[in-house]
Chain A
Amino acid sequence: MTAEKTTIDTNAMKKLGNLGTSMVQQVKKGEGPTFETTLRTKSNTIFDESAGCLRTGDKKEQRKYLSVAQARTFMQTVAVAAKSRQFLKENLHTSIRGLFYQLKFSLGEDIDEDLFTEQSESNGLIEDLEVALKIKREDLNLTTDRKGFVAGPMVITDRFGGDETTIDLEKQGRSGWSIPSDVDNGMEIKKLDADYVLVVEKDALWQRLNEDKFWKKENCLLVTPKGQSTRGTRRLLRKLADKKLPVYCLMDCDAWGWYIYWTIKTGSMNLAYLGRDFAVPEARFLGVTMSDIKEFSFLDKLTIKAKDVDVKRAEEMLGYPWINRHDDWVRELKMVLKTRKKIEQDALQGQRLTFVGEYIKDKIEKKKWLS
């Protein structure tokens, strides 16, 4: 959010150090070392109504080194912590896969076992550390793949690899600015003139709107997560929402589109522990909606038959308290279940290529969105 790079880094370093020190204290007292973290199970995921997002509950889990079932995981957790501390100390970044390879070595000459054998082992432990130490993996100098792009009236400065670069997001040509995995550490928004943020699910539509200089005409930030949002994209959207910019989303009217939207809005169950820092409860769902089909007759011909996964997802969503508390969504999903139809955002270009721009403007103007 607003924290400076230096303070966050020291903070993470300190927390990692404390973790080690407290374990060593236990050992010195003759106790088996333990590690406490919050349970990241579905049953310990709750919807925080006041914050408007999913977060983990209060259930704790204690891991013991002296328990045979937990010894290996315990040792691995500490190994991840130690390795992360080393990255921070050297001020180098790597991906979670890079971390995995850093830790994929034999436990000893006479031990026929690797510290880690699969990346899936280390991924979970990184999340454990994030929850236990209340830090983000980005604070541990762990990067994730980039996927999202932005264009629009914003200037940022990026301190990275010893240099500081100023980036004007209006001058990124046809490709846009690629959202990095960490938008907090070493990154600052210098100038922001946009009136709102428009998130479109697909890169194809983003390119279409970018070509139209939609962001210039509308004075907005044009974002595409290219499907599911990365942590970096979600974090950036949160930061922009904190700057009081409305966030409008344009997705497919199907299971995947809804899921992408709700992850942006409330966070996902998988990463519920990230809480509000990665959620944008203020986000609005512009479309595509089932009611659009009635309004724009040409869309009726462009619908697709809903697949089982879409229907199942719609049914599931009706069961989620953070979704069924919105009457407009209940109506929308019930309509999907009734008509068994879905529609892609690309259909908005069906009549003429520039229709989509008009559609968006119209929706925002008339506040025809779903909450």
Chain B
Amino acid sequence: MADDDMFKQFKEHSVAEFFKKNRQMLGFTGKVRSLTIVVHEFVTNSLDACEEAGVLPEIFVQAEELGEDHYRLTIKDNGPGIPKTHLGKALGQMLAGTKFHRYLQQRGQQGIGAAACTMFSYITTGQNTKAISCHNGTMLVANISIDYKKNKPVIEEVEETLAAETGLTVIAEFKDVRYERSNHGIYEYLRRTALANPHCTITLIEPDNQRSMFPRSVEKNPPKPFEIKPHPLGIGTHDLLEFARQNKESKRISSFLQETFTRVSAGKVEELRTLLPNINFNKNPDQITWEEAEAIVKAFSQVKWIAPTTDSLVPIGKDQVELSFRNIFNPEVLVVTERSPKVYRGGIPFMVEVGIAYGGGIAAAGKKGDVMRFANRVPLLFDSGGCAITETIKTMDWKRYDVKDFEEEPIAVLVNLVSVHVPYTSAGKQAISNEEDVMEEIKFALREASRGVQKYLAGKRRAHESANKRKVITRYTQQLASDLATLSGEKKDEIEKQLMKIIEEKYSNEETAGGDEATPPNDENREKETGSDQEEGDAE
């Protein structure tokens, strides 16, 4: 008797209970982080939607404080909006996204989906999420909730009118969250998003009504990344099975492998056949067992492959990073390095972009040793401790690049890792794992950019020293000119004028050319050398 009841109870509460207990798995850990994660979900969706539709993104975010640890978020974009038929699915069904398992460089790869936010809102406040979608000339205002027994969205239509513009606005309340202007907060998240996405304009209104705007610096959307076939070396057992299950065209494993993956030729399949005599390559792919998939993946690593093409990667771009940095920080010096694409684990294309900015607006903003991590342009705000980017920056010998104390200097470092498959450390997707090839590239990129910064800093230091030298010498010039006039009988003013001119020439040249090869004063040597001699009688 109790079994049935228990099962019934269990079933009724499963989704909500599971969600409540496993919030952290979806990223909803910590009050500040949870709020940022919500913004992250909606903003990445908005950016992807705008780019997909070829619209320059304009995103508006507002956070209002309704009570203690109780906030309302409004996120509005100028994208194409969502048609009525898809609205519920997009905002109310878990794991309903279109991004799952696509070999495409995309932001949403790390997304847990907007539905999770709807759910989060509901379980903390009991409120529905309000969506205003302007799509194709129609404005739809709807309340969306989730029938969590069925994991199905419930749309409560409020009104439908004509609309001249397009876009999606989502309004939702959350409890057990907190707004903070810290390195983990929304402000920082949006600032960095703007930095890595110079084609978008972001406006933020904070709970204290402070309005910040990050205007776009590029009037063009980045090229759309195109989907590529995965490379055998970038594949795990689970992936292989997933691809086999989704396969429709191929009737045999041999043709499935050639169709699904890049660089797999008939010859390579033959090589696999000889390596795996026990596997029937002629059977239907949907009959691959876990063991067979495992064996195939293992065999992949024994075959020599041509590296995958890397042209599918779309970095932010050197010029864009520069524009963006200037726009947001207006630093004194800025060096951006864009490395050519490489491959990690033999089969996954990636590339690294690094921007290092120093002084100027960074000092003014009070930023010191600011590390800004990005994966496919998405800011990584959390779990910095275990991140390959953080670690590589920390282990850099900054002193070699004239940065005496990285943590204490007005320096900001941007690292963007671009890949069709970003190697995250965990499901939280906030840190890059210590892939050797990736770390190498990050290191090279950092060094390359640092050299540029060093050049500037060394020049600046020289100029500073030069100015000091000039000052030192200038202060003696009047006296020298007057004494030279006494000795030579020439006019003091003339001598002084000429001397000043010589000093100016020498030290203004030096500021650009550098290096005063001043010989050390001999006075010191003399004192040392004759110091042991006894005093002369004429000393007083």
Contact = CB atoms under 8 A, between A and B. Distances in A.
A82 B536 contact: no
A40 B495 contact: no
A238 interface: no
Interface in A228-286: 228-231, 233, 259, 268-271
A108 B473 CA distance: 14
Given A66-B503, A115-B479, A73 B523 contact: yes
Given A73-B521, A107-B479, A82 B486 contact: yes
B267 interface: no
Interface string A63-93: 0111111111111001101100110000000
A67 B503 CA distance: 10
Contact of A67 (B486, B499, B519, B530): B519
A31 B501 CA distance: 10
A24 interface: yes
A39 B538 contact: no
Contact of A32 (B476, B482, B506, B533): B506
A233 B540 CA distance: 16
Given A17-B487, A30-B502, A73-B523, A66 B473 contact: yes
Nearest to B487: A20
Interface in B513-540: 516, 518-523, 525-526, 529-530, 533-540
B476 A107 contact: yes
B209 interface: no
B516 A68 contact: yes
B533 A24 contact: no
B478 A68 contact: no
B483 interface: yes
B487 A27 contact: no
A111 B521 contact: no
A259 B534 contact: yes
Contact of B540 (A74, A96, A259): A96
B536 A270 contact: yes
A19 B487 contact: yes
B6 interface: no
Contacts of A40: 526, 530
Contacts of B484: 20, 23-24, 27, 33, 78, 82
A227 interface: yes
A12 to B, nearest CB: 12
A30 B480 CA distance: 16
Contacts of B490: 21, 24
A202 interface: no
Given A27-B502, A66-B502, A68-B469, A41 B489 contact: no
B164 interface: no
Give the most central of B475, B482, B538, B539: most A CB within 10 Å. B538
A93 to B, nearest CB: 15
A287 interface: no
A55 interface: no
B516 A67 contact: yes
Contacts of A33: 480, 484, 499
Contacts of B529: 41-43
Interface string B115-147: 000000000000000000000000000000000
Contact of A68 (B473, B498, B533): B473
A74 B495 CA distance: 16
A72 B501 CA distance: 18
Contact of B533 (A81, A95, A270): A270
B537 A229 contact: yes
B480 A41 contact: no
A259 B537 CA distance: 12
A64 B506 CA distance: 13
Contact of A71 (B473, B489, B498): B473
A86 B536 contact: no
B518 to A, nearest CB: 4
Contacts of A24: 484, 488, 490, 495
Contacts of A123: 539
Nearest to B478: A108
B472 A97 contact: no
A277 to B, nearest CB: 14
A57 to B, nearest CB: 13
A95 B521 contact: no
B162 to A, nearest CB: 75
B476 A75 contact: yes
Interface string A135-150: 0000000001101000
Given A68-B473, A82-B483, 4 more contacts: A24-B490, A41-B525, A74-B480, A268-B533
Interface of B: 468-469, 472-473, 475-476, 478-480, 482-484, 486-490, 495, 498-499, 501-503, 505-506, 516, 518-523, 525-526, 529-530, 533-540
Interface of A: 16-17, 19-21, 23-24, 27-28, 30-33, 39-43, 61, 64-75, 78-79, 81-82, 85-86, 95-97, 107-108, 111, 113, 115, 119, 123-124, 144-145, 147, 181, 225, 227-231, 233, 259, 268-271
Among all A-B residue pairs, the 5 with the closest Cβ atoms: A20-B487, A20-B488, A228-B537, A82-B483, A42-B529
